[in-house]
Chains A and B, each alone.
Chain A
Amino acid sequence: MENILEIKDLHVSFDTYGGEVQAVRGVNLELKKGETLAIVGESGSGKSVTSKTIMRLLPKPAARIKSGEIWFNGKDLTKLSEKEMQKIRGSEISMIFQDPMTSLNPTMSIGKQIMEGLRKHQKLGKQEALQRAIELLDLVGIPNPEARVKQYPHQFSGGMRQRVVIAIALACNPKVLIADEPTTALDVTIQAQILDLMKDLQNKMQTSIILITHDLGVVANMAQRVAVMYGGKIVETGTVDEIFYRPKHPYTWGLLSSMPRLHSKTDELLAIPGTPPDLSNPPKGCPFAPRCPHAMKVCVEYMPDYTTLSETQKTACWLLDERAPKVEPPEIIAVGGAGK
């Protein structure tokens, strides 16, 4: 399948009083047409920074793109001027944020906020844009859209607001949709509604989605491919089946086995000891080495290269080197995968 978005060796740093924080340290990713790619990782792993870099939404001047390229539609997004970027943002690439309570403007009616992008990007007239806004509200499952379009965000519940945010994001039929923790602030029954809606709309509109989340259940439900991030690097990528049933990186093992299972009883969760690395002083070798139960001398000194395990699966771990001892994944993964 053809790549719609390609990130090549991206490095992003923040300048702070405490020195340079290297939030993203060499990320390579591609997004294929019509697929959902999930980026998973803990807070501070660099997943949100990566997505904000694509949208060029990083705070200036604190953050800077040190090196790397982001190719979209034959253009390198890192080289575009702010004006050129504005043409892409919201029309070809759009974003859904985590918190529907704060991502809408409380002083503007819902309709106006949806129409904003339509008027600007698609040059629609007022009436046309209003008509389209009502259609969009209907599309995202908001009952009585003719009346609701005139209302303000505070008159909507959390789930309804997230539907409005999705309507705004999809208003101009974007090719790429970045969803940064789109359901984290919602209750499970509402989360199920929103995930269902996103899948339904993706089928209708053929949008490619980058889904950023820490919830592996949501990943299993939504994604075709997964990238696992840790310490500003991608440590493992693969299809959902590869990541959930045949993971090779100890961090992926740790993530999967620290989640409790609904369908089986475990006495103790396998926690990952320690805390994520401080990226103002990033480790020389593998960022996971200090917390890794299988860490060797080489792990602390050198960052491992990616080992290609299949056409789709790549893992950066010294354990896959032929000289390394053979290590078995924890039982919970070895026995027929997660969740069963």
Chain B
Amino acid sequence: MTETAEREKLIEVKNLKKYFKVGKKAILKAVDDVSFHIYRGETFGLVGESGCGKSTTGRTIIRLYEATDGEVLFEGKNVHAKMSRKELKEFNKKMQMIFQDPYASLNPRMTVKDIIAEGIDIHGLAKSKKERDEKVYELLETVGLNKEHANRFPHEFSGGQRQRIGIARALAVDPDFIIADEPISALDVSIQAQVVNLLQKLQKERGLTYLFIAHDLSMVKHISDRVGVMYLGNMVEVAESDELYDNPLHPYTEALLSAIPVPDPNYERSRERIILKGDVPSPVNPPSGCRFRTRCPLATDICAQVAPKLREAREGHWVACHLYDDEYKHAFNK
């Protein structure tokens, strides 16, 4: 796509690092030097296995965690810079989050109305009680519930309905950017489709930008314009979603795609699967060089010595692997 060059970058993540202290001396490098950007109006999917740092990345972008190093720019402004209360409030209004577990992310002692209106109250978006109520009713209808639901408590709702309440809460302050952290993984298949369709409808109507974090690659492909693949705290590949799924470059992405069982028996019978050996190593003590090398079927000596950098292998398709580096390519004898 040629127009991508001119598109406005809403979010720019630059060399983001987030380390956690575990125990006395050990440091867990959950996110280690990750850079990417999200264009205004697009959905950026972030995939990877548990422990790869995808949720930590999301939470650091919205400042639920302080970054250890690096920066996150939102409309050109650093999210992690020192902000006054007022500035922080202004920023919070623009960025919202939808959480994974609809059972844990809603306060069981608050009515749905108060849950949704919390943001409206904090930011003073309603002048009267009547306006507040109307706003809540409108939001409930937008997400496919109705105003009779406003005075009920979260326990009276099913998982799918709760997730709709979570979405209404995020929309209440009219944000530009929403981080959805595994918003559908706790839901049944038929309900997942309902929620995904709702998210897409809202994006069209309101011009929202999404960061969609999930481990379900087929759903990420469906909803995302571009996808980033993470492994053990590193971004290993970024590309437009069709390009990534049709021409995966990184051996990890290839293995990940080949591991997904497809609901098509004939295809399943004939496919050759790349089965990765072993487990993901501990992020407290990650392998030297390329972090994937311990499970990579193609790894050579150079992979243990030099960490590959994310580089543009094709237009708009970035990959961090020595296979695509002119300097090291010869080591693989391909």
**Residues in chain A within 8 A of chain B (CB atoms):** 42-43, 157, 159-160, 187-193, 195-196, 214-221, 240-241, 244-245, 254-256, 258-263, 265-266, 268-273, 275-276, 337-340
A256 in contact with B263 (CB, 8 Å): yes
Q: For window 257-283 of chain B, which residues contact chain A by CB distance below 8 Å?
A: 257-268, 273, 275-276, 279-280
Report the separation of the CA atoms of residues A288 and B197 in the bound assembly, to the nearest whole angstrom: 21
Select A258's contact among B161, B193, B273, beta carbons within 8 Å. B193
Q: How far is the CA of A244 from the CA of B265 in the complex (A)?
A: 7
B194 at the A interface (CB under 8 A): yes
Q: Which residues of A contact B111 (CB under 8 A)?
A: none
Set A159, A188, A258, A337: member contacting B190, Cβ < 8 A: A258
Given contact pairs A43-B188, A187-B215, A275 touches B279 in the complex (Cβ within 8 A)? no
Q: Given the known inter-chain contacts A189-B49, A191-B259, A275-B160, please indicate yes or no for A268 contacting B197, CB distance below 8 A.
A: yes
Q: Which residue of A lies closest to B274 (CB)?
A: A192
Is the pair A260, B219 in contact by a Cβ cutoff of 8 Å?
Answer: yes
A78-B193 Cα distance, complex, nearest whole Å: 39
> Which residues of B does A touch, CB under 8 Å?
49-50, 158, 160-161, 188-194, 196-197, 200, 215, 217-219, 221-222, 242, 245, 255-268, 273, 275-276, 279-280
Residues on B with beta carbons closer than 8 Å to the beta carbon of A265:
242
Instruction: Given A188-B256, A189-B276, A260-B218, check contact A269 B261 (CB 8 Å).
Output: no
The answer to whether B188 and A42 touch across the interface, beta carbons within 8 angstroms, is yes
- Shortest Cβ distance from B271 into chain A, in angstroms? 9
Q: How far is the CA of A13 from the CA of B245 in the complex (A)?
A: 46
Q: Judging by beta carbons under 8 Å apart, are A254 and B190 in contact? A: yes
Give the number of A-B contacts (CB < 8 Å): 128
Whether A258 lies near B189 (C-beta < 8 A) is yes
Known A261-B218, A266-B222: A271·B264 in contact at CB below 8 Å:
no
Q: In the complex, are the beta carbons of B255 and A189 less than 8 A apart?
A: yes
| CB–CB B49/A220 < 8 A | no
| Contact call B215/A339, Cβ cutoff below 8 A | no
Partner of A188, one of B49, B158, B191, B266: B49
Q: A192 vs B245: C-alpha distance in the bound complex, in angstroms? A: 18
- Bound-state CA distance A266–B260 (Å) is 18
B189 engages A337 (CB within 8 Å): no
CA gap between A43 and B197 in the complex, in Å: 21
A258 cross-chain contacts in B, Cβ below 8 A: 189-190, 192-193
A191-B50 Cα distance, complex, nearest whole Å: 13
Q: Among the interface residues B50, B221, B261, which one has the most CB atoms of the partner chain A within 10 A? A: B261
Specify which chain B residues have a CB less than 8 angstroms from the CB of A340 in the assembled complex. Answer: 264, 267
List 8 interface pairs A-B (beta carbons < 8 Å), by A numbering: A157-B279, A187-B50, A189-B49, A190-B279, A259-B218, A263-B262, A275-B191, A337-B266
| Cβ-defined contact, B260 with A269, below 8 A | no
Q: How far is the CA of A33 from the CA of B172 in the complex (A)?
A: 57
Partner of A187, one of B49, B158, B160, B189: B49
Please determine whether A272 and B263 come into contact, CB atoms closer than 8 angstroms: no
New contact pairs (20) apart from A42-B190, A187-B49, A262-B260, CB-CB < 8 Å: A188-B215, A189-B49, A189-B275, A192-B258, A217-B262, A240-B265, A245-B265, A258-B192, A260-B221, A261-B218, A262-B218, A262-B262, A263-B262, A268-B200, A269-B193, A272-B194, A273-B194, A275-B160, A338-B262, A340-B264
Q: A258 to B245: give the CA distance in the assembly, Å.
A: 20
Give the distance to chain A from B28, nearest Cβ to Cβ, in Å: 16
Residues of chain B within 8 A of A189, CB atoms compared: 49, 255-256, 259, 275-276
User: How many Å lie between the Cα of A51 and that of B259 in the bound state?
Assistant: 27
Interchain residue pairs A-B with the least CB separation, the first 9: A339-B264, A217-B261, A260-B222, A271-B193, A258-B193, A216-B263, A187-B49, A269-B193, A192-B259
Contact (A188, B264) CB under 8 Å given A42-B190, A259-B218, A275-B158: no
Residues of A within 8 A of B191 (CB): 42, 271, 275
Q: Report whether A188 and B259 are in contact in the complex, using a CB–CB cutoff of 8 Å.
A: yes
| Distance A216 CA – B263 CA, assembled complex (angstroms) | 5
B190 to A271, Cβ gap below 8 A? yes
Question: How far, in Å, is B268 (CB) from chain A's closest CB?
Answer: 5
Of chain B, the residue at the smallest CB distance from A240 is B265
- Flag if B190 contacts A338 (CB, 8 Å): no
